Amino acid sequence: MIGKTYTTMLGSQELSIETGKLAKLVSGSVTLRYGDTVVLVTAQARAEKSTLDFLPLTVEFEERHYAVGKIPGSFHRREGRPGEKAILSARITDRQLRPLFPKGYRHETQVIITVLSADGQNLPDVLGPIGASAALSISDIPWQGPTACVRVGQVDGQFVLNPTTDQLAHSRLDLVVAGTRDAVMMVEAGAQEVSEEDLVAAIEFAHAGMQGVLDLIETMRAELGQEKFNFLADGDLSTDLVPELAEQARAAGLRDALLTGKKKDRSAAIRALRDRLIEARIPAGEVEGAEERILALKSAFGKVEKQELRRLILDDDLRADGRNAKTVRPIWIEARALPRAHGSAIFTRGETQVLGVATLGTERDEILIDDLTAETGDKFLLHYNFPPYSTGEVKRMGGQSRREIGHGNLAKRAIRAVLPSFEEFPYVLRLVGEVLESNGSSSMATVCAGTLALMDAGVPIKAPVAGVAMGLVMEGERYRVLTDILGLEDALGDMDFKVCGTAQGVTALQMDIKVGGITPQVMREALAQAKEGRLHILSKMAEVLPSPRAELSPTAPRIISLKINPELIGKVIGPGGKQIRELEAMGAQITVEEDGTIRVFSADGAAAQAVKARIEGLTREAKVGEVFTGTVVKTAPFGAFINLFAGQDGMLHISQMSEERINAVEDILNVGDTLQVKIAGIDDRGKIDLIRPELEGKIAPREPRAPRPGGDRGGRPPRRD
């Protein structure tokens, strides 16, 4: 028998993990199946130690279009660089794995997740982390797992473990949770204004639901796990230096340096203090061994700095910029900052500043999606830009980083929950968050700036959304939750917990833990404190823009919607698209849907109205009883053809022209004459019979025309092919 399979129930379906059958040359390899979704996950590490001073872990999420029976839509018809969804899926896996590698481990490690089959109902993004945990657990790679990952939805008030895509479509919550046996390590969520208590309950539900998966992986490790290879951690020369250096640093004014108000000034003061202490220990001109000693002293000073900062927070409730744990930094806001943008706002909180810019477009502007989902497009775009100048640095600028994609997606999920439907507001929306300054929580500032930009443009959002980043400093049983963290507190703290929402509830959530995990009690406290901070920020936003502007921005284009009979769409498009090109030449973009909905989009309101009037004329339908002033366009022995409106004629029979009998139509009417006529009837072929309203009741009505044999072929027999 090739391979061995382990199974457990996860939600309503069986999860199977097979190993020993595929990709056997790699250190750890597993194949997961859930429904008809199949994922291959491999884990491999280099034998040689890396020279990098950080953990060189890479996680790749590979989508194969054959998994859903599709040929890629690219020019070369093969998969290219990972799309946004694949990158976000890779980040979910990375964030649960990274904290559990041993301290000092520096071997280049790669986890590759390949989607082999996707059934469209069971999403592969949460299978990747489970597979990565299993592959690492049975491999020879040092890793302190296992972990598991599950998704939770809320349908009809009930939590659902690993919901299908159909269930998610009706869910108020899309929550992904990763954790160990005892604690939660990573949370990612989008929600429809869900309460904090419901979120905690959902996270506890998720943690309970993943226990069977953890049991399964531990069984695999016990039966098949390889011996972990020994790795050589860097010799840390700095450890012995910490106690003495800490005493000297405190005596030299480390506390004052750490409590310097501005980021640049604080960094300069700390750096100057460190350099003075190093110079005092290494005499000028000393060369032998100096570089190694300087590096050790710098490392030791970094540990002293971290210890002192955490001590100030835990003992004195005092942070680097002078705030206590619950205080939000000063906020200032400017709306309509850009004269030509459809909507814009600057949101500044402390030393973090984001310019939010909203642009309104048509359906032609929606982004096309070519991945393993059934989605074909997205009418809401949010792009987050993090240039190096925002942190006072010089770096190479290239494409969008994975971090930028992740932060942008968090802001997008937060705001999407309050957007009007496309039927209510038929615009494609693009938001751009330009990070101009960054000292902590630029993604949350993007949520605030983006919300304000939409309101400035006049987009009728359901409620304003704000975001705040929470931190944590934990030493044993002691801990303190921090509101609106600085970049320094993010780097030296134990948690990054971002919470977005309205005054009514949470719309997005992201949590990463750098320690072994946190308990539900800490999570409740963090969410409650985050709500206080969020409400404070929303109040500041309301001082500038309490609600969306009543009118669209003057620079924003206008969309006029109208509905026509679907059978008349051909009249609007015309032969080969000739008619619609003529309409667009009048100064508008036009979209036509199969149900007869037409949208006219133009920056010129008058042009839009003119195009609308033209379309209404082209598609106008006559109704029995309507009265028109028509023009005679043709006469015949039996009557006159009268034009009622563009493209529509009716026939006035000779018997309906006068109370007296007449011998010829021309005795009464000639081509070019105008007269009032009323529609008396419309037959099954759309032919219109007219009468003269002033003669109605004075002459006998004409008998309706009988249908002609052969349908609309004028009595001719049907053609036989």
Annotated binding site: 490, 496
**Cβ count within 10 A of residue 698:** 9
φ, ψ (nearest 5 deg) of residue 287: -115, -45
CA distance 436 to 530: 24
Strand partners, 13: 10
With H, G, I as helix, E, B as strand and everything else as coil, classify residue 691: strand
With H, G, I as helix, E, B as strand and everything else as coil, classify residue 211: helix
CA dihedral 368, 359, 81, 437 (to 10 degrees): -160
Residue type, 295: L
> Going by C-beta distance under 8 Å and a sequence separation of 6 or more, which residues neighbour residue 28?
42, 43, 44, 134, 135, 136, 137, 138, 139, 140, 141
CA distance 38 to 117: 5
**Cβ count within 10 A of residue 621:** 12
What spatial distance separates the first Cα and last Cα of the chain, rounded to whole Å? Answer: 63
> Going by C-beta distance under 8 Å and a sequence separation of 6 or more, which residues neighbour residue 534?
466, 467, 468, 499, 500, 501
Burial of 303 (0-12, 13-18, 19+ CB in 10 A): middle
- Are 592 and 621 in contact by the 8 Å Cβ rule? The answer is no
With H, G, I as helix, E, B as strand and everything else as coil, classify residue 395: coil
Continuous H helices in 545-633:
569-573, 578-584, 605-619
Please name which of 108, 105, 111, 90 lies closest in space to residue 28, comparing C-alpha atoms: 111
- Are 612 and 572 in contact by the 8 Å Cβ rule? The answer is no
Lookup: tokens for 520: 């539900």
φ, ψ (nearest 5 deg) of residue 471: -125, 175
DSSP characters for 413-463? HHHHTTPPPTTTS--EEEEEEEEEE-SS-HHHHHHHHHHHHHHHHT---SS
| CA R_g for the chain | 35
In b/e form, how buried is each residue of 351-383, taking b as 16+ CB within 10 angstroms? bbbbbbbbbbbbbebbeebbbbeeeeeebbbbb
DSSP characters for 614-666? HHHHHH----TT-EEEEEEEEEETTEEEEEEETTEEEEEEGGGS-SS--S-GG
Q: Around 96, how many Cα atoms within 13 Å sit in the side-chain half-sphere?
A: 35
DSSP 518: B
CA distance 445 to 415: 12
Residue 72, preceding bond cis, omega within 30 degrees? no
Hey, CA dihedral for 196, 198, 202, 205, is it positive or negative?
A: positive
φ, ψ (nearest 5 deg) of residue 499: -130, 125
Please name which of 426, 588, 587, 448 lies closest in space to residue 507, comparing C-alpha atoms: 448
Instruction: Report the binding-site residues for Mg(2+).
Output: 490, 496
With H, G, I as helix, E, B as strand and everything else as coil, classify residue 276: helix
